[in-house]
Structure 1
């Protein structure tokens, strides 16, 4: 699909339609697209842009089903974006708090900002017909459309989880809570919760995570008490398990591989502040800036380097590591509830390619690990090919690797812990802990 320039004049709905177009037609991430349009709007409008564009991603199959019933023929070329504007209008009418009058009127007006004033009549007719025909009240007898997922992912979850598949799919579409990790190097847990209480921030404590807080509603993170002083980091409960499972100790050399944006790196330092050396490695220079910002705010000292994990010659000093956290590149199917665009950016054939990359990195990093050292393999995926099957094969192929169980039920044939979305309010994640033999 031909690239579409950002509308010359800012308009809330036109800009939102442009974001949707960029994700679905150009394969861009929501984060990248939203950053561009949000520079043009105020904080309130930015929240609306995010809610609407990501809402369309969650409900896309149903919205497209309605669109096909209402539109005589698909729009083409530089008019294609108007289909995305109509999807936005349909979402507003059925899934948002926007009044029907504004959902129709303002969406129609936005066509002019997308150089399609001649299609305003079409947009109006489609949205009015949707209301007139009461399409939202007519049940759709298609499980895949109702799931909000692409067909390949719907079937992959079915195959992996069987009787639990419906629950996994439902939780994949749920809204994820915001978790905070209290940085006890800078503030006590009690002092931090007292500050939240004073600011009237509503939260709950986690039964399974000692330093964690789960916010009860969406908050401006930068406005929370202690943000500038590094009193906390935003980190999902599943991701907070990484440092605990890695078990960093004093006077060790530790590698956090694929570290951006640095949440796990910071937690490693907080769990073992007197460890000898922590290296945060990532291939993406732009994302490494986030690591630098987070380590500065949290007041942690680590070595931050850009490098390809599969080619250590460019960044490794030749000294083996006591512990390695490999947060492997993956499909991110476990965090779709946070990033609903992922479901449309990932394709079925990506999984095999990612599994091959994961294995290549795993084999490489194993050579950088000391005898007796520990490697924690982690992904934010819920697909077995990237997780349990990956570790099963690695253990079978690697004589000096053995499983260090996280759960009592683990065996080399069923290694690791698979967390599904929504389990104890956490994201979908997988962990497997491996130990290198002394011989």
Structure 2
């Protein structure tokens, strides 16, 4: 096994901003002490360990602190495997959850000098202070202090002792690493290394307002260099708040990964774009692909479904910003009897629920929330959705099945099993598994350039006309 490189990593903007001297007392945006940020980060980490997604946990943090806590939380999640291994070296028994979260947060941030957002001794001192100041960890503050002081004294030996641990080396669960080794024997290391890198910010340009080149010039004039990706996308050299993007609030541009931008143009590739196609977006939230469908096929009649009513509101909000319209309905796509009016669809986009194993660089908590059996369970749901939606497709119609997963059971294996049981389905030329770091093929893009894209899977199915 080749150890994961311990190359220097730039300190994040949010973490760097924390080093700004505190402002005057009572200032609305005064920078909090580092121990408070570490305590808030540990609380977010504890939520993830209890099975809660990182996103709502961060959203619950007070807004002035949120960017810093998000930056620290993402770094902790990306180094969680190493942190757990180090804690096991320091303590034969895990402390209570709040203390364990704080201890492992400090270890995750401090184990590598070059990647630490602060000097290691500062992180240790402030983590101990966080333990003393909060009632959930006060009783274990002495234990945390002892562990961290020993870590500082013996750090090199402790890290070396964890280098034999697969989970510590790659910062993914052991079962996840072993699965990628089986499924991608030539690329598993590159997949795991890329998952550790922050994702770039990719944009989709609405052709109603600008060409890609025109918008790229607008960005350049603002000091925001970018490169073209896909058919209508740009990848920024540096992420910025969406408010800095020209025309964002007017719907001129959307934030969407280059791999996700493949869906809409691929669905009806080669067919008349301005026809009034009847299209189903079966699992539509938050609405990025729905908006792209309407940009590609402006006369289409689109029905956007999502099982979660609250997420349907996000679809409505996104469509309103883009200035396009679709019928949005809260419904279970797997139960057509509860929502289908009997009129067949010309095209169906099924972005099926999955493990999200292809977007862990954007959501570093996913790897720690998933269990080994989740992929098989989700594959059953994906197969159920395919079975339920296929009869709703008109003869000659197309269904695009996609997931943001790199696991074979949620891609090729699901589609091949479906084809074996549906002789009226034909697999058209499709990208298949889009793997970060590999040159993609079969895309509706002239040069197939997607930049640093997420992991995705696409299969385009066509129903016989008879």
Pick from 17, 29, 32 the counterpart of residue 42 of structure 2.
17
Aligned counterparts of 1:149 and 1:381: Cα–Cα separation in 2:
15
Pick from 106, 111, 136 the counterpart of residue 89 of structure 1.
106
Pick from 394, 413, 432 the counterpart of residue 459 of structure 2.
432
Alignment correspondent of 1:356: 380
Work out whether residues 83 and 168 of structure 2, in 8 Å CA contact, stay in contact via their aligned partners in 1. Answer: no
Aligned counterparts of 1:200 and 1:85: Cα–Cα separation in 2:
39
Pick from 125, 129, 133 the counterpart of residue 146 of structure 2.
125
Pick from 44, 62, 68 the counterpart of residue 82 of structure 2.
62
Residues 143 and 92 (structure 1), Cα distance of their counterparts in 2 relative to 1, 3 Å cut: closer
Pick from 61, 67, 82 the counterpart of residue 47 of structure 1.
67
SS at match of 2:134: helix
Work out whether residues 295 and 301 of structure 1, in 8 Å CA contact, stay in contact via their aligned partners in 2. Answer: yes
SS at match of 1:376: strand
Aligned counterparts of 2:437 and 2:257: Cα–Cα separation in 1:
11
Q: Deviations over 1:396-429 (max 9, x none)?
A: 10021111112xxxxxxxxx51111344411000
Aligned counterparts of 1:121 and 1:345: Cα–Cα separation in 2:
30
SS at match of 2:332: coil
Alignment correspondent of 1:418: 433
Work out whether residues 18 and 81 of structure 1, in 8 Å CA contact, stay in contact via their aligned partners in 2. Answer: yes
Does 2:183 match 1:160? yes
Aligned counterparts of 2:197 and 2:437: Cα–Cα separation in 1:
8
How much has 1:286 moved relative to structure 2? 1.9
SS at match of 1:162: coil
Does 2:179 match 1:179? no
Work out whether residues 11 and 113 of structure 1, in 8 Å CA contact, stay in contact via their aligned partners in 2. Answer: no
How much has 1:114 moved relative to structure 2? 4.4
Aligned counterparts of 1:212 and 1:258: Cα–Cα separation in 2:
23
Residues 74 and 63 (structure 1), Cα distance of their counterparts in 2 relative to 1, 3 Å cut: same
TM-score (norm 1): 0.89
SS at match of 2:415: helix
Alignment correspondent of 2:95: 75
SS at match of 2:240: coil
Does 2:248 match 1:227? yes
Residues 316 and 117 (structure 1), Cα distance of their counterparts in 2 relative to 1, 3 Å cut: same
Number of residues paired by the alignment? 410
How much has 1:430 moved relative to structure 2? 0.5
How much has 1:72 moved relative to structure 2? 4.3
Does 2:390 match 1:366? yes
Aligned counterparts of 1:401 and 1:72: Cα–Cα separation in 2:
56
How much has 1:279 moved relative to structure 2? 1.1
Work out whether residues 278 and 346 of structure 2, in 8 Å CA contact, stay in contact via their aligned partners in 1. Answer: yes
Aligned counterparts of 2:174 and 2:224: Cα–Cα separation in 1:
40
Work out whether residues 375 and 409 of structure 2, in 8 Å CA contact, stay in contact via their aligned partners in 1. Answer: yes
Pick from 110, 128, 153 the counterpart of residue 108 of structure 1.
128
Work out whether residues 422 and 428 of structure 1, in 8 Å CA contact, stay in contact via their aligned partners in 2. Answer: no
How much has 1:58 moved relative to structure 2? 1.4
How much has 1:190 moved relative to structure 2? 3.7
How much has 1:17 moved relative to structure 2? 0.6
Alignment correspondent of 1:5: none
Does 2:252 match 1:258? no
SS at match of 1:241: helix
Alignment correspondent of 1:411: none
Q: Deviations over 1:79-121 (max 9, x none)?
A: x211111111122223322133431222222222243223222
Alignment correspondent of 2:423: 399
Aligned counterparts of 1:82 and 1:327: Cα–Cα separation in 2:
39
Alignment correspondent of 1:331: 355
RMSD, aligned CA: 1.7
Work out whether residues 76 and 109 of structure 2, in 8 Å CA contact, stay in contact via their aligned partners in 1. Answer: no
SS at match of 1:433: strand
Alignment correspondent of 1:410: none
Aligned counterparts of 1:17 and 1:143: Cα–Cα separation in 2:
24
Work out whether residues 183 and 231 of structure 1, in 8 Å CA contact, stay in contact via their aligned partners in 2. Answer: yes
Residues 49 and 422 (structure 1), Cα distance of their counterparts in 2 relative to 1, 3 Å cut: farther
Residues 344 and 137 (structure 1), Cα distance of their counterparts in 2 relative to 1, 3 Å cut: closer
Work out whether residues 333 and 343 of structure 1, in 8 Å CA contact, stay in contact via their aligned partners in 2. Answer: yes
TM-score (norm 2): 0.84
SS at match of 2:289: helix
Pick from 169, 172, 179 the counterpart of residue 192 of structure 2.
169
Aligned counterparts of 1:438 and 1:84: Cα–Cα separation in 2:
58
Pick from 295, 314, 336 the counterpart of residue 270 of structure 1.
295
Residues 72 and 386 (structure 1), Cα distance of their counterparts in 2 relative to 1, 3 Å cut: closer
Residues 253 and 437 (structure 1), Cα distance of their counterparts in 2 relative to 1, 3 Å cut: same
SS at match of 1:121: helix
Structure 1 unaligned runs (5+)? 1-9, 407-415
How much has 1:392 moved relative to structure 2? 0.7
